[in-house]
Amino acid sequence: MRLETDPYLARYAARVTGMSASEIRALFAVASRPEIVSFAGGMPDTSALDLEAVEQVVAAVIRDSGAVALQYGGGQGRPELREQLVQVMRLQGVPAHPDELVVTVGGQQALELIASCFVDPGDVVLAEGPTYVGAIGALTSLQADVRHVPMDEAGMRVDLLEEQLQALEAEGRRAKYLYLIPNHQNPAGVSLSLERRRRVAELAERHDLLVVEDDPYGLLGFDGEVLPSLRSMIPERVIYVGTMSKLFAPGVRTGWIAAPAPVRDKLILLREAADLCPSNLTQMIVERWLQTQPWVEQIKRFRQLYAEKAGVMLDTMAAELPAEVHWTRPQGAFYVWLTVPAGIDTSDLLAKAIAHRVAYVPGRGFFADSSGGDHARLCFSFPSTDRIREGVVRLGELLNAELELVRAVYGEHAPQLRTRRGGRATGIGG
Ligand code: PMP
């Protein structure tokens, strides 16, 4: 085998030198084959959109304002769109004024701009453990020191957040911010309880902490319930991130940040340095979608669809997965977080899973320190209900076979195989 060395290695910036594509990325290329049921990608079911309505919206944008749509725009994003986005936030009870918003290329650019705005190499950023893989990517590419706060079924353990804040203060350090996904978290599939939201708000005041509230899924609660946002509790301390990816379509790459004015101004400068301005074309498509289409109804349709898929997912898991496996029970959005017994490593298992025609994301991707080998994220939003059943049956076969193997190898010395207490499948762990 010929070892390829990168001839550009000596020229890269220090923060880029350590970056490399994981083996898992290569496996995912295979996982998109049609015979594989993929619970891997966090993709909305865009087939639930009324494509004729979208076509009309796109055609109308070009017909009525083509020259503007195809022109450059301002770095903050179109005022007309920002007014519409404030209405989306209002539906969720999140207060905002259009002037406070910066339109971004999806929530992902928002997370990257916020990280660039605050993080110098070595700076501490606190985040739930596990947390969104794209946030870890943005933070680690800037050499942040990401420290995780463990979670349970009620979201981030706020008692442990307090401990970390105190420990940092004892070291004479301060976290640049706390990154939090309070609603239907990716990947854990749980929400931060109301009581804990209040505690986070109190702790933020007491410890002079900034909070980045990333909220792609707040309107996707299966029963339509919406808990108060942190922005509504401590607006001066919160930088709020929204996105149309899960409420309309990720293909329009439209997200936004609502931030206190001084931070907003820095973010606009950073965004202008990155890409000048968001696309006028996609902004105007989203704007017109929100102005002329029944978007609240569409969100309701998404909610009902995902609730149905979650039901099939959880029922089939209860029937098919071994008793030693635990999982969370989402009340909204896309994700179930799986915990497997000691002796099984979900990263090692992925190649076998793909050979068995089912895919997931191994837990390690959701921790900056690559812990989480006993977890996996299963995303049920995209496959049809029939495919979900098939995929879970395959996963059950795989996990049962793997457990047999663990028992055969270790015999009576098998690592403690945890069993589900009282038949309820819960537990986030690590
Ligand atoms: N934050 C979280 C928690 C997400 O799950 C995602 C997408 N999966 C994003 C941000 C970014 O999404 P987008 O760039 O499509 O808005």
Q: Over the stretch 26-67, which tens digit does the pLDDT of each residue have? A: 777 877 899 999 999 899 999 999 999 999 999 999 999 999
Give which of 117, 145, 116, 151 is closest to 131, Cα–Cα. 151
Question: For residue 377, how far is its CA from the centre of ligand 1 (angstroms)?
Answer: 15
pLDDT in tens, 217-235: 999 999 989 999 999 999 9
> Going by C-beta distance under 8 Å and a sequence separation of 6 or more, which residues neighbour residue 137?
none
**Burial class of residue 158 in the structure, from the number of CB atoms within 10 Å of its CB (0-12 exposed, 13-18 middle, 19+ buried):** buried
Give which of 111, 142, 144, 114 is closest to 16, Cα–Cα. 142
Ligand 1 touching residue 363 (CB < 6 A): no
**Burial class of residue 18 in the structure, from the number of CB atoms within 10 Å of its CB (0-12 exposed, 13-18 middle, 19+ buried):** exposed
Q: What is the 3-state secondary structure (H, E, C) of 187-233?
A: CCCCCCCHHHHHHHHHHHHHCCCCEEEECCCHHHECCCCCCCCHHHH
The CATH number of whichever domain residue 153 belongs to comes to 3.40.640.10
Q: Please check whether residue 58 lies inside any domain of the structure.
A: no
- Out of 17-21, 180-184, 203-207, least confident range: 17-21
Q: Are residues 178 and 83 located together in one domain of the fold?
A: yes
Its domain, for residue 93, covers 65-292
213 - beta bridge partners? 180, 240
Contact 388, 314 (CB under 8 A): no
Domain termination site, one of 292, 308, 326 = 292
**How many domains in the chain?**
2
**Residue 186, pLDDT above cutoff 50:** yes
Number of the ligand 1 atom closest to the C-alpha atom of 243: 16
Question: For residue 397, how far is its CA from the centre of ligand 1 (angstroms)?
Answer: 31
**Burial class of residue 237 in the structure, from the number of CB atoms within 10 Å of its CB (0-12 exposed, 13-18 middle, 19+ buried):** buried
**Residue 3, pLDDT above cutoff 90:** no
149 - beta bridge partners? 128
Give which of 274, 211, 262, 258 is closest to 238, Cα–Cα. 211
Ligand 1 touching residue 107 (CB < 6 A): yes
- Tell whether omega for the bond before 235 is within 30 degrees of 0, i.e. cis: no
Question: For residue 108, how far is its CA from the centre of ligand 1 (angstroms)?
Answer: 6
Q: Please check whether residue 428 lies inside any domain of the structure.
A: no
Report which protein residue has its CA nearest ligand 1's atom 8: 42
Q: Are residues 71 and 176 located together in one domain of the fold?
A: yes
> Going by C-beta distance under 8 Å and a sequence separation of 6 or more, which residues neighbour residue 135?
111, 127, 179, 214
**Residue 286, pLDDT above cutoff 80:** yes
> Going by C-beta distance under 8 Å and a sequence separation of 6 or more, which residues neighbour residue 149?
126, 127, 128, 129, 156, 157, 160, 161, 164
Q: Are residues 287 and 326 located together in one domain of the fold?
A: no
Q: Please check whether residue 1 lies inside any domain of the structure.
A: no
Q: Are residues 371 and 281 located together in one domain of the fold?
A: no
Q: Are residues 302 and 274 located together in one domain of the fold?
A: no
Contact 160, 134 (CB under 8 A): no
Ligand 1 touching residue 373 (CB < 6 A): no
Q: Please check whether residue 60 lies inside any domain of the structure.
A: no
Predicted model pTM: 0.95
Q: Are residues 93 and 179 located together in one domain of the fold?
A: yes
Give which of 239, 192, 190, 182 is closest to 216, Cα–Cα. 182
